[in-house]
Amino acid sequence: MIRVLFFASLRERLQCDALELPSEGMSTVQEVFDALLQQSPLFAETLSSPKPLMAVNQEIAHATSPVKAGDEVAFYPPVTGG
Amino acid sequence: MIRVLFFASLRERLQCDALELPSEGMSTVQEVFDALLQQSPLFAETLSSPKPLMAVNQEIAHATSPVKAGDEVAFYPPVTGG
Amino acid sequence: MTFHKTIQVQTQDFDLQTEYQTLRTLSSGIGAIVQFVGLMRDINEGDEVSHLFLEHYPGMTEKSLDKIVEEARERWPLLGVRLIHRVGELTPSDQIVMVMVASAHRQAAFAACDFIMDYLKTRAPFWKKEQTNTGSRWVEAKDSDNQAADRW
Amino acid sequence: MTFHKTIQVQTQDFDLQTEYQTLRTLSSGIGAIVQFVGLMRDINEGDEVSHLFLEHYPGMTEKSLDKIVEEARERWPLLGVRLIHRVGELTPSDQIVMVMVASAHRQAAFAACDFIMDYLKTRAPFWKKEQTNTGSRWVEAKDSDNQAADRW
């Protein structure tokens, strides 16, 4: 399984903190993202625009970053700390 | 009269904190400086190289800055505060 | 001397004086300390703000702050860095974040402190939600386009 | 709010916490405070330094510091500046100078604090004489050529 986390406005709009996706056939963040778009019309609409930032195992990642079973993948809006 | 002040290493090398010069014929810092060079061989040598920085009435000045009777003219080495 | 580093993410307030004294007494080779403190303003985008809630991504937050400090340390000859970022509920004038950098010389301390704050603002996973008269809203990132630019 | 400015030249030490609290509580519009503290190092040009004597030009010192702060204020939207520079006898690890700048935003506070320190170092009439194992010596200005360049 791959654990997926959402934060801040994205978490609120998706009404979801976290979910698990089967890891079969998933080798990149892009593939995890594409699977999320299939979850529901709400997910498809919310995640498509603007496209979120992402992290794999708590490190900043890109669409092409590799993922494997057991990884933690996070999607989040632009950060506003400081 | 024009009051002349010296600071830091310049004061020590000249063995002089302050002196007064007659203001007659003096209209610029350059002229005050030239009069100081005439004071003694020690003054001539010490003030010629390196040439000091200067202030008139406690404001940063240049060789061409005007001076008049009653002014306070200071000569000092490069500053090292902070 | 060895490099001193402390990074904390916490809900409670911090005491600048304690932080400063700890950093200052590390070494008599320290010639410059630059401190940045971010405070909560009572106004944003023209609206009065009564509360702020700071969400973060526990685990990733600490990792990303550590990475930012290590990057600064590689670029400048630093003697110590102390960094505290608060999360949770805040009210106007509250301290939000503190970055304190010690170095032998001024330029390194200034440059590193500024650099750490720049990177923190664009890379550390914190999000602000503010409460105004008209309701609550997520604060918009000023550079949101930049942040997402090379990710996809 | 009106601009807040305090400039002091003094022999006694200063308490950073008191200074910070005074500045911080001026306005809830303050979003950023940048503080610089210069400390006396126990080594300079490779030699151990046991004491430092700071000479200044009373009267001109205060005027020049005021001018520097006013110049910073014209360039950036500042809410307050507190500046203290010590003179007289100092020992290693002593606080020498403090510049504290408050603004609504981070960039202005950083830029102004850095600017004030730059200008102070090249324009304010302070001179350091240090005591080493081998005697006392006046500290050489790193930019002595620049300082005198356009004067003659």
- Give the tens place of pLDDT for each residue, A6-50: 999 999 999 999 999 999 989 999 999 999 999 999 999 999 989
Burial of C58 (0-12, 13-18, 19+ CB in 10 A): exposed
Tokens of B56: 């008139």
What confidence category does residue A57 fall into, taking pLDDT thresholds of 50, 70 and 90?
A: very high
CA distances from D45 to C79, D78, D139 (A): 18, 36, 10
Listing DSSP states for D32-46 in one string gives EEEEEEEE--SEETT
Nearest neighbour of C60 by CB, restricted to A9, A58, A82:
A58
Q: Find the DSSP H helices in A1-82.
A: 8-14, 29-37, 41-48
Q: How far apart are CA D30 and CA C92, in angstroms?
A: 10
Chain A meets chain B (3+ C-beta pairs below 8 A): no
Tell me: pLDDT of B36 over 80. yes
Contact A77 C127 (CB under 8 A): yes
Q: How do beta strands B72-76 and B2-6 pair? A: parallel
Q: Map residue B4 onto helix, strand or coil.
A: strand
**Chain B residues touching D150 at Cβ < 8 A:** 62
**Chain B residues touching D36 at Cβ < 8 A:** none
The Cβ-side half-sphere exposure at B21, using a 13 Å CA radius, reads 25
**Chain A residues touching C68 at Cβ < 8 A:** none
Q: What is the distance in angstroms between the Cα of D58 and the nearest Cα belonging to chain C?
A: 25
Count how many pairs of residues, chain A against chain C, have C-beta atoms within 8 Å: 93
The predicted-structure confidence for B18-33, as pLDDT tens digits, reads as follows 999 999 989 999 999 9
- Spatial CB neighbours of A48, under 8 Å, sequence gap ≥ 6: A37
Average pLDDT value for residue range D95-104:
98
Cα nearest neighbour of A12 on chain C: C138
CA distances from B17 to A17, B20, D74 (A): 75, 11, 36
What secondary structure letter does DSSP report for C73? Answer: H
Structure-token match 């809410």, residue found: D79
Q: Does D16 touch chain C (CB under 8 A)?
A: yes
pTM, to two decimals: 0.94
CA distances from C105 to C30, C34, C72, D115 (A): 8, 10, 15, 15
**Chain D residues touching C33 at Cβ < 8 A:** 35-37, 39
Tell me: pLDDT of C1 over 80. no
Neighbours of D46 (CB within 10 A): 6
Q: How far apart are CA C29 and CA D16, in angstroms?
A: 20
Q: How far apart are CA A52 and CA A62, in angstroms?
A: 10
Q: How far apart are CA C93 and CA C47, in angstroms?
A: 16
Contact D59 B58 (CB under 8 A): yes
The predicted-structure confidence for C111-127, as pLDDT tens digits, reads as follows 999 999 999 999 999 99
Neighbours of chain C (3+ CB pairs under 8 A): A, D
Structure-token match 């092409």, residue found: A64
Identify the helix (H) or strand (E) that includes residue D55: strand D47-56
Contact D129 B8 (CB under 8 A): yes
Tokens of A52: 């979120």
The Cβ-side half-sphere exposure at D107, using a 13 Å CA radius, reads 4
pLDDT averaged over chain C?
95
Q: How far apart are CA D19 and CA D17, in angstroms?
A: 5
- Spatial CB neighbours of B75, under 8 Å, sequence gap ≥ 6: B4, B5, B6, B7, B10, B33, B36, B47, B52, B53, B54
> What is the ipTM, given to two decimal places?
0.94
Tell me: pLDDT of D1 over 80. no
Q: How do beta strands C47-56 and C32-39 pair? A: unpaired
Q: How far apart are CA D71 and CA D113, in angstroms?
A: 12
Neighbours of B8 (CB within 10 A): 24
**Chain B residues touching D127 at Cβ < 8 A:** 7-9, 76-77, 79-81
What confidence category does residue D144 fall into, taking pLDDT thresholds of 50, 70 and 90?
A: confident
Q: Does C97 touch chain A (CB under 8 A)?
A: yes
Q: Residue type at D38?
A: G
pLDDT of residue D150: 79
Contact C106 D38 (CB under 8 A): yes
